[in-house]
Amino acid sequence: MPITMTLPINNIRQRTGRRTREYNHQFDGNDGWKLTNVRSARFGLLIYWDNALKIGTTAAGRDEKIELDFLEVRAWHGPNRQKEFGLGSQQQLQKIYGEIGGDPLSPETFNNQRVLSAALNRDDEVFLEFEVNTDHPTYCKAAERTIAQGKTALKIELTTYAFDADIDDDGKITLTIGPGSRVGAYEGYVAIDFGNTTSTLAALPVGSRRVSAIRILAPHATDQAKLPELKPQAPAVESVLRIDYVAKQPESQPRVAPHPDLVGWVTGEWARIGRSSNGVIYGSKRMMTGPGWEDTVDVMVAEAREPGEGANLRRQPYPIPGRIPAELFLCRTFQQFRQAQQEYPSRLAVTYPTTYSAREMRQLREVVSRAWLRTMVQKQDGDKIGEAEKHIELELDEASAAAFFFLYRRIFEKPGGLPRFRYLYPDGMNLLLYDGGGGTTDVVLVRGRLDPANPNVLKVVVLARSGVRDFGGDNITIEVFRLLKAKIAAALAKSRGESKALDALPQDPTKWAAYLDANADKFDKWVPTRFDADNWVGGADQQRNRDHTWTLWMCAEDLKKVLGTPAAPGKPPPSEAALPSSIAGKLGEFLTKSAGKDGLKFEQIKVSRAEIDALIRPRVLHSIELCNRLIQQRLWLAKGDPQEVHWVVAAGNATRYPLFEELFAKHLYVPFFADRFLHDTENCKHAVAKGAVLALGWDKEARSVGIDFDSNLADQLPFTIGVFNQQHDAVRVLYPEGSRYSKMTSPLYIEVVTGKGEKPAEYLILERRWPDEEKFNKFLTFRFKDGIASPVKVSYDPDTAQFVAQDHNDADGELVEGDREKAYRPPPQRGDL
Amino acid sequence: MPEPVETAPRIGPKFPLLGDAPHIVERFERIAAVFAKLGEDPLLLERPEVQKAHGDFLRLDERLRRPRYQVGFLGTTQAAKSTTILNLLDRKKGEGPVDSGDGAPKTSSITRIVPQSEGEHTLRIRYLTPAQYAEKRARLCEKTGLDPDSSDATVLEQLDKQLAGPAAGARPAAAEVPPLIRDLETLGKLVRSYGQYRAMVVDRARVEPHPYAKRESFVNHPPEVAGQRFAPSPNHLIREVEIGLTSERLPQRLEMIDLPGLGSDGSSDDILTKGFLHELDGALVFLRADQYGDSDVEYIMSKLIQEFEGGRSRIWIVVTKMDVIERDSLYGKAADELLGFLRKHGLKTDQLALTTKRLHDRRGPDGKVPLSQAAAIVQINLDDADPVPPGYRADPGLKASFAELLGDGGTARLRKMVTEELEGRVAADTQRQAGEQLGRIAERLVGVVEFLRQVTGGNLELLVLAEQCRTAVTREVAALDQQMAWFADSSQQVRNELDAMLDKCFPGDEDNLQQKSADLARRFPAHAKILTDTLAATFQSNVVLPAYEKVAAQLANEAFAAVPVGDKLGPGKYWEAAMAADAALKADWRRTGFPTFQADLAALFAPPGEGEEEDRELNGGHYREMLQEKIRAVVGEGVHRLRAQLRVRLSELRDQLNQLADFDPQALGPTTVDFDALLAELRTLCPSR
Contact A452 B488 (CB under 8 A): no
Report how far residue B326's alpha carbon sits from residue A308's, in angstroms, rounded to the nearest whole number. Answer: 66
> Is the pLDDT confidence value at B600 over 50?
yes
Half-sphere exposure of A732 (CA within 13 A, CB side): 19
- Nearest C-alpha of chain A: how many angstroms from B572? 26
Determine the distance from the C-alpha atom of residue B84 to the mean position of all C-alpha atoms in its chain, rounded to a whole number: 22
Of B147, B616, B639, the CB nearest to A749: B147
- pLDDT score recorded for residue A704: 65
- Integer CA distances (angstroms), B13 to B22, B112, B434, in order: 11, 22, 17
> Is the pLDDT confidence value at B665 over 90?
no
Triad B648, B650, B651: Cα angle to 5°: 65
A747 touches chain B (CB under 8 A): yes
> Is the pLDDT confidence value at B173 over 50?
no
Q: Which residue of chain A is at minimal alpha-carbon distance from B615?
A: A415
Which residues, listed in sequence order, are joined to residue A434 by a DSSP beta bridge? A443, A650
- pLDDT score recorded for residue A673: 93
Residues 749-808, chain A, touching B (beta carbon < 8 A): 749-751, 791, 793
Of B162, B341, B484, the CB nearest to A669: B484
- Integer CA distances (angstroms), B357 to B81, B360, B362, B408, in order: 11, 5, 9, 9
- pLDDT score recorded for residue A7: 93
Q: Which residue of chain A is at minimal alpha-carbon distance from B482?
A: A669
Q: Which of B155, B524, B612 to mutate to test the interface with A (most CBs of A within 10 A)?
A: B612
- Could you give phi then psi for residue A565, rounded to 5 degrees? -70, 130
A52 touches chain B (CB under 8 A): no
- pLDDT score recorded for residue B266: 67
Please tell me chain A's helix, strand, coil percentages from 3-state DSSP, rounded to the nearest 5: 35, 30, 40
The contacts of residue B190 (CB under 8 Å, 6+ apart) are: B133, B136, B137, B140, B236, B237
Describe the crossing of helices A609-630 and A658-667 by its angle, rounded to 10 degrees.
40
Report how far residue A531's alpha carbon sits from residue A541's, in angstroms, rounded to the nearest whole number. Answer: 8
For B298, the enclosing helix (H) or strand (E) is helix B295-307
Of A415, A454, A751, the CB nearest to B616: A415
Burial (Cβ within 10 Å: 0-12, 13-18, ≥19) of residue B170:
exposed
Amino acid of residue A600: L
The contacts of residue A418 (CB under 8 Å, 6+ apart) are: A411, A412, A450, A456, A458, A705
Query: Which residues in B lie closer than 8 A to residue A704 (C-beta atoms)?
Result: 609-612
A631 touches chain B (CB under 8 A): no
Contact A417 B484 (CB under 8 A): no
Report how far residue A479's alpha carbon sits from residue A703's, in angstroms, rounded to the nearest whole number. Answer: 49
Contact B603 A419 (CB under 8 A): yes
- Nearest C-alpha of chain A: how many angstroms from B623? 8
Query: Which residues in A lie closer than 8 A to residue B630 (C-beta atoms)?
Result: 423-424
Averaged pLDDT, B381-400: 84
Query: Which residues in A lie closer than 8 A to residue B150 (C-beta atoms)?
Result: 749, 751, 791
pLDDT along chain A (833 residues), means of 10: 85 91 84 85 93 87 89 92 89 91 84 92 92 91 92 93 91 93 94 91 91 92 78 90 82 75 86 75 83 82 61 76 94 95 95 82 94 93 90 90 90 85 90 87 88 76 82 91 90 82 82 90 89 73 83 89 83 84 70 70 85 92 91 80 90 89 94 91 88 90 70 76 80 84 80 76 87 80 88 84 86 74 70 87
Report how far residue B589's alpha carbon sits from residue B578's, in angstroms, rounded to the nearest whole number. Answer: 12
- pLDDT score recorded for residue B174: 40
Query: Which residues in A lie closer than 8 A to residue B485 (C-beta atoms)?
Result: 671
> Is the pLDDT confidence value at B596 over 50?
yes
Contact A646 B290 (CB under 8 A): no
pLDDT band at B165 (very low <50, low <70, confident <90, very high): very low
Which residues, listed in sequence order, are joined to residue B349 by a DSSP beta bridge? none
Among A155-159, A709-713, B78-82, B256-260, where is mean pLDDT lowest?
A709-713
- pLDDT score recorded for residue A647: 95
What digits encode the pLDDT tens for the residues B403-438? 999 988 888 888 888 888 888 888 888 888 889 899
Report how far residue A367's alpha carbon sits from residue A356's, in angstroms, rounded to the nearest whole number. Answer: 15
Fill in the DSSP letter of residue B173.
P
Of A425, A702, A746, the CB nearest to B145: A746
Query: Which residues in A lie closer than 8 A to residue B639 (C-beta atoms)?
Result: 671-672
Of A412, A424, A669, the CB nearest to B630: A424
Contact B290 A747 (CB under 8 A): no
> Is the pLDDT confidence value at B614 over 60?
no
**Contact A245/A279 with Cβ under 8 angstroms?**
no
- pLDDT score recorded for residue A614: 92
Contact B337 A671 (CB under 8 A): no
Averaged pLDDT, B331-360: 86
Query: Which residues in A lie closer than 8 A to residue B615 (C-beta atoms)?
Result: 415
Fill in the DSSP letter of residue B262.
B
Query: Which residues in A lie closer than 8 A to residue B613 (C-beta atoms)?
Result: 209
Half-sphere exposure of A670 (CA within 13 A, CB side): 26
pLDDT band at B167 (very low <50, low <70, confident <90, very high): very low
What was the ipTM of the complex prediction? 0.79
The contacts of residue A422 (CB under 8 Å, 6+ apart) are: A450, A455, B603, B604
* CB pairs < 8 Å spanning A and B: 128
For A488, other C-beta atoms within 10 Å of its C-beta total 25
A637 touches chain B (CB under 8 A): no
What digits encode the pLDDT tens for the residues B447-490? 888 888 888 888 888 888 889 999 999 999 998 888 888 888 89
What digits encode the pLDDT tens for the residues B179-231? 567 788 888 889 989 999 999 999 889 999 998 888 877 766 566 666 667 77
Report how far residue A793's alpha carbon sits from residue A151's, in angstroms, rounded to the nearest whole number. Answer: 67
Half-sphere exposure of A717 (CA within 13 A, CB side): 25
For B638, the enclosing helix (H) or strand (E) is helix B620-661
**Contact B107/B91 with Cβ under 8 angstroms?**
no
Fill in the DSSP letter of residue B261.
P
- Nearest C-alpha of chain A: how many angstroms from B606? 8
**Contact B340/B391 with Cβ under 8 angstroms?**
no
Determine the distance from the C-alpha atom of residue A413 to the mean position of all C-alpha atoms in its chain, rounded to a whole number: 30
Q: Using alpha carbons, select from A807, A778, A802 the residue that is nearest to residue A792.
A: A807
Residues 480-499, chain A, touching B (beta carbon < 8 A): none
Average pLDDT, chain B: 82
Q: Using alpha carbons, select from A717, A719, A721, A770 the residue that is nearest to residue A750.
A: A721
Q: What percent of chain B has pLDDT over 90?
A: 19
DSSP B402-416: HHHHHHHTTHHHHHH
- Nearest C-alpha of chain B: how many angstroms from A184? 28
For A452, the enclosing helix (H) or strand (E) is none
Strands A441-451 and A454-468: antiparallel
- pLDDT score recorded for residue A8: 93
Three-state helix/strand/coil letters over A380-403: CCHHHHHHHHCCEEEEEEHHHHHH
Query: Which residues in A lie closer than 8 A to residue B343 (C-beta atoms)?
Result: none
Fill in the DSSP letter of residue A85.
-
Of A639, A675, A749, the CB nearest to B158: A749
- pLDDT score recorded for residue A389: 94
> Is the pLDDT confidence value at B592 over 80?
no
Report how far residue A192's alpha carbon sits from residue A236's, in angstroms, rounded to the nearest whole number. Answer: 11
Which residues, listed in sequence order, are joined to residue A467 by a DSSP beta bridge? A442
Q: Using alpha carbons, select from B510, B501, B546, B455 the residue that is nearest to residue B621.
A: B510
> Is the pLDDT confidence value at B602 over 80?
no
